[in-house]
Amino acid sequence: MGITYNAYLIMDEKITLVDTTKKPFASELIERISQIVDPSKIEVLIANHVEMDHSGSIPAIMEFAPEAAIYACAPLGVNGLKAHYGDKYNYVGVKTGDTLNIGKRTLTFVQTPMVHWPDNMVTYSAYDKILFSNDAFGQHITTSKRFDSDNPYHLVMAQAKKYYANIVQPYSPQANKALQAVKELDIDIIAPSHGVIWKDHIQDILAAYDKWTTRQVEEKCVIVFDSMWHSTETMARAIASGVTAAGVEVHLYDLKENPQSDIMTQLLDSKYVFIGSPTLNSHMMPNVAGFMTYLKGLSPDNSNRHAVAFGSYGWAPLGPKEVQAALEETKCNMMSDVETCNWVPGREYLDDFEIRVTELIKSLKKC
């Protein structure tokens, strides 16, 4: 779906730019600002986040407006900007509750550390009831339709979920803290730095963040595998049948065919996960190892999930065992010992395995 880098220009007595864009888009940003006002008239630049997709065009803006004051979180935001762009600019460090009057508007800053860098903050304009939320509440969407309700609801929510699962998820406790702070504000608009602007579905995205930041899961199952000669794949399909027979929604992913980011999105609120690999050169398959690294980084604590490692093997079940160890590292509740099958799973084995999976899921499923 791509992504946008949103910067916001506030036309007040002190002309204020909230965030910039990635460096390659600097000339486009300046051209768009110039359609409204001479960029040299910018007096305030708010850098809610140091990451270069938002700060990368600061030097380009400062060429036009060298006297502008750059407001960033103190001290980490200011230090990060100095490390990237030097200390030649007029930086002003701010903390939660600090305000800045720019004319009709008084802007309030709220630090949101680790959502998803230590320097993050958001900026609130009570006059407009707008929250400039930077990365929080962003989505992987590119569209000329700028507001949430101008786009299909399911698409916006799905892309907000994908963004959360793949960017914000590791810092869910911190994101929940930030969410509670944001909920105190009277908000008509949430203007994130990626994707569309929330106007008509603010309660929906806040409710979704409530769910995601508290790691709530649904009766859903994700099965992820790679396979060399289809034996592990056949096991995965038997698991899918067994879970389906237990009345639980199943999502089956062959790692050769599906992006990790899509799998993580589905896994975010899934209660059950099965991950399978055969043994290759005494280890799990490289695709599976890559996925486990991605999972460990994004979701280091899976104590809300139940898991099983599985896979076929020729002479030593080392691959599936390695998956089991990796799942244990992510604090998954292991539903059973590693499930292995020597060479090719036959009909009798598969029928029995399917029944065992159904019974396992039923025993854990809410009545």
User: Which position among 21, 33, 53, 338 is part of the footprint of ligand FEO (CB under 6 A)?
Assistant: 53
Give residue number: closest CB to ligand FEO.
Answer: 51
Minimum gap (Å) between residue 292 Cβ and ligand FEO: 24
Minimum gap (Å) between residue 25 Cβ and ligand FEO: 13
Q: Is 51 in the site for ligand FEO (CB under 6 A)?
A: yes
Minimum gap (Å) between residue 320 Cβ and ligand FEO: 36
**Stretch 85-124 residues interacting with ligand FEO (CB under 6 A):** 116-117
Minimum gap (Å) between residue 219 Cβ and ligand FEO: 33
- The pair of structure tokens assigned to 353 is 């395995």
CB of 268 closer than 8 Å to CB of 165:
yes
How many residues bind to ligand FEO according to rule CB under 6 A? 9
DSSP state string for 198-246 = BSS-HHHHHHHHHHHHTT--EEEEEEEE--SSSHHHHHHHHHHHHHHHT
Minimum gap (Å) between residue 363 Cβ and ligand FEO: 41
Minimum gap (Å) between residue 93 Cβ and ligand FEO: 19
- What is the sign of the dihedral through the CA atoms of 10, 11, 12 and 16? positive
In whole angstroms, what is the distance from residue 178 CA to residue 227 CA? 41
User: Which position among 133, 193, 232, 287 is part of the footprint of ligand FEO (CB under 6 A)?
Assistant: 193
Nearer to ligand FEO, 51 or 148 (CB): 51
Residues 135-154, one symbol each (x = binds ligand FEO by CB under 6 A, - = not), give x-------------------
Q: Is 19 in the site for ligand FEO (CB under 6 A)?
A: no
Nearer to ligand FEO, 117 or 310 (CB): 117
User: Which position among 4, 16, 49, 276 is part of the footprint of ligand FEO (CB under 6 A)?
Assistant: 49
Nearest to 322 by CA among 366, 360, 359, 276: 276
Q: Is 54 in the site for ligand FEO (CB under 6 A)?
A: yes
In whole angstroms, what is the distance from residue 221 CA to residue 326 CA? 18
Nearer to ligand FEO, 136 or 288 (CB): 136
Phi, psi of 216 (to 5 degrees): -75, 140
Residue 352 CB partners (closer than 8 Å, separation 6+): none
Give the up-direction half-sphere exposure of residue 161: CA atoms within 13 A in the CB hemisphere: 21
Choices 39-47, 50-58, 100-108, 346-354 (CB under 6 A): range interacting with ligand FEO: 50-58
Residues that bind ligand FEO (CB under 6 A): 49, 51, 53-54, 116-117, 135, 193-194
